[in-house]
Amino acid sequence: MKDGGRHLRVEVLGPLRAFADDQELSLGAPKQRAVFAALAMAAGTVVARGELIDRIWGEDVPMTAAGNLHTYISGLRRALSGLGLGDPLPLVSGSSGYRLQLGPEALDLNRAEQFAATARTARDSGDRHGAIAALDSALALWRNGRPLETLPGPFATEQRTRLADMRLRLLIDRTELMINAGDAGDAPSADLAAAADELAVHARAHPFDERLRSALMMALHRSGRTADALAQYQMLHRVLANELGIEPEASTQAVQMAILAQDTPRAPHSL
């Protein structure tokens, strides 16, 4: 936010960081940082004290939680004061809770969501290059380290999972767009090979995700690694049969059959 002073911006797509222009703020101890993250991700709305306590402590709430929360808010206000952010400070206390004011683009997550929306619009209008470029911009906002890494509490744990899944969905969207762009010769096989390598890491962590596995199979096939693509199908078939007692979905089977026939399967428009 800029209110006659400097901009406050916050990064959550990696370890939590906050800046007044280019000066990084010291956000304090882990639970105090977790409070700031919860407020930043609800920027512009009041978060009730009880809700903040639940987000930081979950079911294991100490008797001192309310007092500790007050201490953390005071610590955050001290960190924000004196940085030329304008008056009043962006961290506002009210009768029911607390609100952090941020500009609409001051949170990296908001920008990632905006780029994803731009990609959907570009895809729907037939602009594959524009869609891929927008997804590249979104994915570039994720930094080294897991989102909200080391922050305690159930809210941070939940958001780590959600943001990691969001990044994976964007990677799959990008790969599918590149696969379809390859029909016109617009996606270099080296790009698809790199996408396949990254998706292969995620496939090991998400063995039942058929959309992920299909995108991986198509990227491998399009980059000249057909045997690896078919091996991925066999791994998926085996894990689904052994763990869930089911067959791959018809759409996944269709990808395998197209690869066996040396066709060029297309990815669905699923962005």
Tens of pLDDT, residue by residue over 221-258, are 999 999 999 999 999 999 999 999 999 999 999 999 99
Nearest to 39 by CA among 67, 64, 63, 75: 75
Tens of pLDDT, residue by residue over 147-162, are 999 999 999 999 999 9
2 pLDDT band (50/70/90 cuts)?
very low
181 pLDDT band (50/70/90 cuts)?
confident
Task: Burial-class residue 254 by CB neighbours within 10 Å (0-12, 13-18, 19+).
Answer: middle
Strand partners, 17: 11
Per-residue tokens: 83: 């940085």
Q: pLDDT value at position 5? A: 56
Phi, psi of 9 (to 5 degrees): -135, 150
- Residues of the chain with pLDDT > 70, as a percent, come to 90
Rounded Cα gap, residues 260 and 126, in angstroms:
29
Q: pLDDT value at position 86? A: 63
| pLDDT, greater one: 85 or 42 | 42
As a whole number, mean pLDDT of residues 3-7 equals 60
Tell me 195's DSSP state.
H
Instruction: List Cα–Cα distances, 89 to 8, 45, 145, in angstroms.
Output: 10, 15, 30
Rounded Cα gap, residues 56 and 34, in angstroms:
7
Domains of the chain and CATH, by start: 8-100 (1.10.10.10), 188-271 (1.25.40.10)
Nearest to 99 by CA among 48, 155, 45: 45
Nearest to 141 by CA among 114, 164, 109: 109
Nearest to 197 by CA among 166, 176, 179, 175: 175
Neighbours of 176 (CB within 10 A): 23
As a whole number, mean pLDDT of residues 210-219 equals 96
Angle between the N-to-C axes of helices 30-40 and 154-181, in degrees from 0 to 180, rounded to the nearest 10: 50
Residue 48 · residue 76 · CB < 8 Å: no
